[in-house]
Amino acid sequence: MEAPLLSSSIVFYGLLHVAAEPTTHVNLTAGSSDAIDIYLRCAGLCGASIAAQGGVFALITNAATLLEERCARLGISNLSIVSHPFAWVVPHGIAFHSAHFKLELIEAFATGRYGDQIALIDIDTVLHQPFRWPESLAGCLFCYDISDQVFPAYGRETVIRDLNLVAGRTLSAPRWFGGEFICADARGFAALARHIAECWPRYKRDIAALHHCGDEMVASAALNIALASGQQLIDVGREGGVARWWTSRTRNRQQSFTEISNRSLLHLPADKQFLATYPTVEFNGAEFVRAYRRYARKRLFARRAYNLLGTLAGREMQHVASM
């Protein structure tokens, strides 16, 4: 039986954790305007796209007063902001520092106080059309398997070695899961939170030896443990589901935008500046995709030119997607 994603019980949450110390911002170009403003505008667009499909979105933060003041100055009136008392100690100076607090949110979602069914998503995502998936069982986890992107980019043996290290065991047929989408009920999040708590000390201990620093490393190890323990995992990286797509150069070969444009939730991590300038009033998914295509064609042309110049200069050529 097919069930609509945007049922009245599902609440979408994004995270914008504001670090106490200055930090670099991944996937923002040098000379970008204020990073918090860009993230807030992205969150505003994300929320507007979900609202256009009848859904509910809220932004969780450790700096609610600051973000509310910024929203007022930026004219963002459609964004619900929720304060959370983050307590985890995340090592300072590491890449994706603030994103690690997604792991703490998973622990909080297990309590049920944020809702019965929750989807944790990245704020540089856009839901441009509704999508449906098989009806889940209690405790099921919906997640996004991106092994086909990560294994070729970093080497299958390297990725599996690191997953085994963080999981503390030899995993059978390990997979890598993207951090932009995890959906479950409180029972599902509780199981995942237990596995994350098991992996977290090993991750912090061995972080310098891992190929990747970020919440995906811990969550992927924990999700593999959950899968091995018999928990039901459903991959939303399929027709009608979720797609991560880059207009920047990548280590792996991507599908064309046409091939993934039928996915409903698009994660566009290299295009935050574009998302931050896109209008949120009366969001229309088809119009968004048309505007994004125009933007992406120009950006990809520039990336190909950069690739060519880099080759002439002796730099390694990377992959550039096609439309």
**Domain presence at residue 150:** yes
The structure tokens 């935050």 sit at: 272
Q: Which residues pair with 141 in a beta bridge?
A: 184, 233
**Domain presence at residue 312:** no
**Structural domain for 126, as ranges:** 8-295
Taking only the tens place, the pLDDT of each residue in 111-168 is 999 998 999 999 999 999 987 766 666 789 999 999 999 999 999 999 999 999 999 9
The mean per-residue pLDDT over the stretch 236-259 comes to 90
Q: Smallest Cα–Cα separation from 100: which of 199, 168, 228?
A: 199
Give the pLDDT band of residue 22 (cuts 50, 70, 90): low
**Domain presence at residue 33:** yes
Alpha helices (H) along the chain: 35-52, 64-74, 101-109, 147-154, 156-167, 186-206, 215-228, 257-260, 272-277, 285-312
pLDDT on residue 18: 95
**Domain presence at residue 64:** yes
The phi and psi torsions of 16 (rounded to 5 degrees) equal -130, 95
Give the pLDDT band of residue 1 (cuts 50, 70, 90): very low
Q: Smallest Cα–Cα separation from 222: which of 171, 153, 152, 154?
A: 171
State whether the Cα torsion 25-28-34-37 is positive or negative: negative
pTM score, whole prediction: 0.92
**Domain presence at residue 282:** yes
The CATH number covering residue 125 comes to 3.90.550.10
Q: Give the number of domains in the chain.
A: 1
**Domain presence at residue 322:** no
**Domain presence at residue 311:** no
**Domain presence at residue 323:** no
